[in-house]
Amino acid sequence: MVVRMSRDGTRTSPTGRYNGPPITLGNMRENGVRTLDVWCLGRDRHHHRMLDVDAMPDDVAVPSIGPRLRCERCGHRGADARPNWSEYQAPGMGRR
Tens digits of per-residue pLDDT, 16-37?
677 789 999 999 999 999 999 9
The domains of the chain are located at 22-87
Q: Would you say residue 2 has pLDDT above 50?
A: no
Half-sphere exposure of 67 (CA within 13 A, CB side): 3
Rounded Cα distance between 20 and 90, Å, is 22
If one counts every other C-beta atom within 10 angstroms of the C-beta of residue 47, the result is 15
| 62/3: higher pLDDT | 62
| CB of 40 closer than 8 Å to CB of 75 | no
DSSP for 30-65, written as a single string? HTT--EEEEEE-STT---EEEEE-TTS-TT-BGGGT
